Amino acid sequence: MTSSVVISGSGLWKPAHSISNEELVTAYNAYATRFNQQHEIAIENGELDSKPLSSAEFIEKASGIKSRHVYVKDGILDIDRMRPKIPVRSEEQLSDQAEMAIHAAKEALKSANKTAADIDVVIVSCAYTQRSYPALAIEVQGALGIKGFAFDMLVACSAATFALHRAYEMIAAGTAKRVLVINPELTTPQINFRDRDSHFIFGDVATAMVIENSATADSEHIFEILSTKAVTQYSNNIRSNFGYVSQANDVDPFAAENLFHQEGRKVFKEVCPMAVEHISEHLQRHHLGANNVSRWWLHQANINMNTLISRRLLDRQPTLQEAPIVLDTFANTASAGSIIAFHLHHQDLQSGDIGLLCSFGAGYSIGSLVLKKQ
């Protein structure tokens, strides 16, 4: 039998801390009320816009999110701060994201029945890295005792699937034996918790996967990667402008325009049809239709977006078993969302079942993998 490239293990790490919609709204509304009172005259004169109040019901209806895990809860709900208070670590200590990554990596290795000695490539792929260099992937590689090489990838919310594509290509080409892909999504430092329309969107988490040749895979749950597909199309509707050039621009690197912000309605309107077309074309490559897919592990950004995309693909409302939702308790975890869905909802599939893993986000970028349970 001809060997193939497979996913042989996955891992998930979530922080111990979480914040409910109610907690988030209480803090935000207290801040907004105080802001409106302090700037009452300027608001009346049209010099400033008042801060609208929010509600837990608004958040859940707009996104499907009920709560989110956060790496550090301290500081986020303090209306005088409204950002996580993460203690500075010395350069000799393990970085925050590396620590997150290692937790998920160890679980993925255990799931795949592999040790660090079996891995020869590490890819850390996520929406944000906490520093430019040395690469987080190399730090993780060193901490785990892995030989070979490692590198970071940044492709916003498609970072995980794009990294899986690179891993697939390396295994298929024979330039690597086993690749460990890790997604330590530390998103909360880039959230503007003073913005009603975006303060609830993101959560922190880390995921990981082991990719190898089927000839060496011996884990309980193995998924063959039948193919990969990616597309990018430039859009200005999702941005995070924070960067080292801010110092040379003489601007506040932490101003609202440099934190995460988006034109949510435009994103919804433009990404949904783009994702439907992308997925349909990918399935057609294998002479498959949407009804041949047993499990949809879709990007977890917005429940309304997921529902619309899967409904257009299936011509009906998907069941939660077919298209599992994890964003209700994890929120949008950038590139990790579809991997969380896979990790929590793959063991029940039978040999021969087809699944589709897909992420979409800023860029715009879309990455997908057609998988077959072995």
- Model-level pTM? 0.96
Q: Given the structure tokens 């608001």, which residue do they identify?
A: 43
pLDDT tens column, 355-368 = 999 999 999 999 99
Separation between Cα atoms, residue 138 and residue 151, nearest integer Å: 6
Both tokens of 157, joined, read 């919310």
Per-residue model confidence (pLDDT) at position 1: 46
**Banded model confidence at residue 3, pLDDT cuts 50, 70, 90:** confident
- H or E element: which one contains 146? none
Number of Cβ within 10 Å of residue 146's Cβ equals: 24
- H or E element: which one contains 212? strand 205-213
Return the biggest CA–CA distance within the chain. Answer: 77
pLDDT tens column, 178-222 = 999 999 999 999 999 999 999 999 999 999 999 999 999 999 999
Is residue 150 within 8 Å of 178, Cβ to Cβ?
A: no
Q: What are phi and psi of 319, to 5 degrees?
A: -80, 160
Question: Which amino acid is it at 215?
Answer: A
Is residue 226 within 8 Å of 370, Cβ to Cβ?
A: yes
Among the listed residues 306, 293, 297, the one whose alpha carbon sits nearest the alpha carbon of residue 343: 297
pLDDT tens column, 17-55 = 999 999 999 999 999 999 999 999 999 999 999 999 999
Q: Given the structure tokens 């935000």, which residue do they identify?
A: 28
DSSP per residue over 220-266, as a string? SS-EEEEEEEEEE---SSEE---STTHHHHTS-TTSGGGS-EE-HHH
pLDDT exceeds cutoff 90 at 245: yes
Instruction: Specify the higher pLDDT residue, 243 or 93.
Output: 93
Give the mean pLDDT of the chain: 97
Among the listed residues 7, 337, 353, 342, the one whose alpha carbon sits nearest the alpha carbon of residue 164: 7
Is residue 37 within 8 Å of 366, Cβ to Cβ?
A: no
Separation between Cα atoms, residue 56 and residue 68, nearest integer Å: 13
pLDDT tens column, 278-325 = 999 999 999 999 999 999 999 999 999 999 999 999 999 999 999 999
Separation between Cα atoms, residue 183 and residue 11, nearest integer Å: 10
Q: What are phi and psi of 256, to 5 degrees?
A: -55, -40
Catalytic residue positions?
157
pLDDT tens column, 265-276 = 999 999 999 999
Per-residue model confidence (pLDDT) at position 29: 98
pLDDT exceeds cutoff 80 at 2: no
